[in-house]
Amino acid sequence: MKQRIFGLVSTLIGIVFALAIVEAAATLWLTLEDGHYTSASELFDRTQNAYVRDMTKDTDCRYVDTLFPHPYVGFVHHANPPCGKPWVNNVGLFGPDFPTEKRTDRYTILLTGGSVASQLAQERAPPAAHYLEEELNRHYTSPNGKPFLVLNGGDGAWKEPQPFILFSLYATSVDAVATLGGFNEQYFFYPGTKERLERPLSNFIDVNPFVADENFGDAAIGWVIGRVAGVLTRIPVLDHSHAAYLLVRGIEALAKSRDTAGSGKRTTLNGLFSLPADIANDPEKLFQTQLALYQKYERAIEAVAKDNGVKSAYFLQPIPGYGKELTEDEKRSADFDLVDRYRRIVAGMLSLRERGMKVFDLGDIFKDEKGRIYADRIHCWRDPGPKAESPGYTIMARRVAQDLAEAWGLKPRAAGN
């Protein structure tokens, strides 16, 4: 009996010792990779941006589990258990339902773009602040004298032409439209990019695995693998383990490779949006081609807006690394390599002013801020409490409201009203 107990204890000690060695090796590997020690919890946080993290916190669900395929904009969200969000509206986005006809009791603005636009409009359930809507109602009178209603027309990974398509669907239902973008579009300006701006980002593949290019069996296996990774990150002990982080990173990489691996088919998602070699291999031709496409969709929004008597405005979002002195936390997530390219995109979009379009650059809105504004490489930090207070989005809402007042001739509210 003593020998069996001794053997069991020896085995357990051996397992613990082996795990300790694995953890030490993983910690050393990641320290060398990062250039400095980083806690496992912070590394896990880096695997998801602030928008995705908000959607999946306190659940075993992945972000993709909240998505739903849409025939025109590619993907939206759903309210179906167990991973749906209860505050998803009738069009699969967050916030109040979209009307079929213009409301007579509100002045309705569609704010469309990517995840930053969604957060500025506010994708959290009440009582979370609706930054832009509250700013407008606090300081300005609408053209029809009714309270402002800002519809959330943005979603994670959206870019043109999704904002154009969404607005085209609901142009007869709103009084005004504003776009807030630039960051998601810039991914297609990288030298070596082989697809047109219109190619949907990875969320489309996640919700349309068969249509998007792969056989359904491989896509299902990838889904299961990714779900296992999500569960592992929810185990408290593993959340503090560098070895567990490497395991999850490897699992996610495997899932991603299964989702996107080539199948040898003649018709593929990449092929549908492929660029000619002479453009893809020439960085300047690539830049100008993608810029022309980006401008085309903003001009298309302008044309549809004018045809439907809808006011319009266009905003280029700020990015870390430009227009603000960053904190140490912000520096760790900022992508300084994209700054010059992004500012060229902004300059190109601002040239649409020559056509009379109301285009605004938000690049300098945080220039006087010394504290933390950004939560990651693009989203603003928000308090985790129910109000979701955010210095960054509050400042952004103030500037956007001021620019809309200039563009649309909004009158300031009288004091006390």
Encoded amino acid at 8, one letter: L
242 lies in some domain? no
Residues 235-289 have pLDDT tens digits of 666 566 766 666 666 665 655 554 444 456 777 778 899 999 999 999 999 999 9
The answer on 286 and 162 residing in a single domain is yes
**150, part of any domain:** yes
329 within a domain of the structure (yes/no): yes
> In the chain, how many domains are there?
2
- Local structure of residue 172 (DSSP, 8 states): G
Q: How many CB atoms lie within 10 A of CB 201?
A: 18
Q: What pLDDT is recorded for position 124?
A: 84
Q: What is the pLDDT of residue 197?
A: 97
Instruction: Enter the pTM of the model.
Output: 0.83
395 located within any domain: yes
Same domain, 303 and 385: yes
Looking at the structure, tell me whether residues 21 and 152 fall in a common domain. Answer: no
How confident is the model at residue 212, as a pLDDT?
Answer: 45
Q: Which residues contact 266 (CB under 8 A, 6 or more apart)?
A: none
Q: Are residues 94 and 163 in the same domain?
A: yes
| Enclosing domain of residue 24 | 2-37
- CATH code where residue 134 lies: 3.40.50.1110
In a domain, 380, yes or no: yes
179/286 same-domain check = yes
285 domain-assigned: yes
Same domain, 24 and 123: no
Residues of the chain with pLDDT under 70: 1-10, 12, 14-19, 22-23, 26, 29-30, 33-36, 38-50, 52-54, 209-240, 242-264, 415-417
285 and 158 housed in the same domain: yes
**Is the domain of 27 the same as that of 127?**
no
238 assigned to some structural domain? no
Sign of CA dihedral 258, 260, 261, 264: positive
